Amino acid sequence: MKWGGLVGAALLTLTLAVVLGPTRIPLGELAGSEIVRDLRVPRALLGFLVGGSLAVSGAGLQALVRNPLADPFLLGLSGGAGLGAVGAIALRLPGPWALPIAAFAGALAAMALVYRLALVSGAALDPRVLLLAGVVVGSFAAAITTAIVSLSEAEQLRNAFLWLWGGLSGASWTTVGVLAVYLPLPLLLLLGSARSLDLMALGDEPAGYLGADVTRVRRRVYLAASLLTAAAVAVSGVIGFVGLIIPHVGRMGWGHRHRTLLPVSFLGGGVLLVLADTLARTAVAPRELPVGIVTALIGVPVFALLLRRWVRA
């Protein structure tokens, strides 16, 4: 029943995203419209993939660091991606894909650095050190980014910051295709770790006695979640709240077993982001709002309501 509702909501939001837009296109002409085919449909699909990835990444990281406040961007990835993007603009890297590739590379570099820093005691990834390393690496990258911005012509770099606030304007069939090929691996890695994530909520030692290879699972989950986030940030900038809120909403409705929670988060994240992006495109048309602002504007009140209901129950 609840599943049916969620799948229905996903289909409904995707339909809305294709039907609604800043341009009025009669229903009968939707199928033949170039705007629908080349802009709206890929944008809706990309939004769904990105929102889903962020939510799954958030759910995985929250279990990994055993902290319900963990967010995919807490671990320094947004700082790294921002540095990559601003660097690409400041260096005037040529080519249509320079910005997303540089952002992706920046995110991966931050991920590798955080990972290396968190491996303080041998091969075990300490979640507390991981959080700390993420914050430190993120701040360091932000500092370098600000240094670059203040040393170069301000106009263009202000626009780079706008890119960082998140948006799906870069959606095309190419980006959808790249993500569709890229995402299954990290998603399956996370889904394959679902049971171990359940166990790890008990603490490392009890989880180990219940059959989880904590050291390996932790590395795998960190890598998979980071790969998801890095791809999301490369195609759409830093979109907040989806990765933080959706896993909680999922736990309220479906419990905290990750075998259910991860797919639920994927669908929920997709719904939230596509809905937010539809609003971002249409609310002030022809202008567009940064979608991260809309996710916060929708996500936070909904979350607050659910939280109240849930605490009372």
Partner 1 sequence: MILELDGVTARYPGAERDALTGVTLGVAKGELLAVLGPNGSGKTTLIRVALGAMKPAAGVARVSGRPAHEWDRRALARVAAVVTQREETAFPQRVRDAVLLGRYPHLPPFTAPRAADRAAVRDALAACDAEDLAGRWIETLSGGEHQRVRLARALAQEPELLVLDEPTASLDVRHEMALFEQIRSLVDARGLAALVITHQVNLAARFADRVVLLSGGAPAGAGTPANVLTRETVERVFDWPVAIQSFDGRPQMVPLRRVLPSHRSS
Partner 2 sequence: MGRSSLRRWTAALLILGACAPRHRHPRLVRAPSVTDDAGRTVTLAAPAQRVVSLAPSSTELLFAVGAGRQVVGRTTWCRYPPAALSVPVVGDGLEPNIESVAAVHPDLVVLYRSPSNGAALTQLEQLGIPAVVLRQDRLEDVARDARLLGTLTGHPAVGDSVAQTLDVVTAGRPPVAHVHIAYVVWDSPPIVIGAGSFLDQLGTLAGAQNVFHDLRPASAPVSLESLASRNPDVIAVVDDSSAAATPSFAQRPEWKAVPAVRAGRILHLPGDLFGRPSPRAAQAIAAFARLLNTAK
- Residue 193 has a CB neighbour count (10 Å cut-off) of 24
**Least distance (Å) between residue 191 CB and partner 1:** 7
What, of partner 2, partner 1, none, does residue 172 touch, CB below 5 to 8 Å by kind? partner 2
Q: How far is Cα of residue 313 from the mean position of the Cα atoms in its chain? A: 30
| Beta carbons of 246 and 269 less than 8 angstroms apart | yes
Q: Which is nearer to partner 2, 200 or 293 (CB)?
A: 293
Smaller CB separation from partner 1, 124 or 223:
124
CB of 245 to partner 1, least distance (A): 15
- Identify which of residues 42 and 72 has a Cβ nearer to partner 2 in the complex: 42
Cross-strand bridge partners of residue 124: 121
Of residues 199 and 238, the one with the C-beta less far from partner 1: 199
161 binds, among partner 1, partner 2, none (CB under 5 to 8 A by kind): none
Contacts of 219 (CB under 8 A, 6+ apart): 125
Task: State in angstroms the smallest separation of the CB of 187 from partner 1.
Answer: 13
Identify whether the C-beta of residue 246 lies closer than 8 Å to the C-beta of residue 265: yes
Please identify, using beta-carbon distances, which residue of 4 and 28 lies nearer to partner 1: 4
Residues that bind partner 2 (CB under 8 A): 21-23, 34-35, 38-40, 42, 94-99, 150, 153-154, 156, 159, 162-163, 167, 169-174, 281, 285-288, 290
User: How many CB atoms are closer than 10 A to CB 32?
Assistant: 9
Give phi and psi for 124, each to the nearest 5: -85, 135
Closest approach of partner 2 to the CB of residue 262, in Å: 30
CB contact set of 171 (below 8 Å; sequence gap of 6+) = 39, 42, 43, 45, 46, 47, 235
Q: What are phi and psi of 122, to 5 degrees?
A: 70, -135
Our CB check for partner 2 shows the closer of 140 and 173 to be 173
**Contacted by 192, from partner 1, partner 2, none: CB < 5 to 8 Å by type:** partner 1
Tokens 């166990």 label which residue? 199
Q: Which residues contact 208 (CB under 8 A, 6 or more apart)?
A: 214
Looking at residue 285, the DSSP 8-state letter turns out to be T
Q: Taking the complex as a whole, how short is the minimal distance between the CB of residue 205 and partner 1, in angstroms?
A: 6
Minimal distance, residue 17 CB to partner 2, in Å: 12
Query: Residue 301 touches which of partner 2, partner 1, none (CB < 5 to 8 A by kind)?
Result: none
Q: State the minimum distance, in angstroms, from the CB of residue 142 to partner 2.
A: 17
Residues at the interface with partner 1 (CB under 8 A):
63, 66-68, 121-122, 191-192, 195, 198-199, 201-203, 205-206, 208-213, 251, 255-257, 259
Rounded to whole angstroms, how far apart are CA atoms 261 and 255?
A: 7
> Of 121 and 150, which CB lies nearer to partner 1 in the complex structure?
121
Cα Rg of the chain (Å, integer): 19
Name which of 214, 184, 189 is nearest 124 in CA terms.
Answer: 214
By C-alpha distance, which of 101, 125, 122 is closest to 114? 125
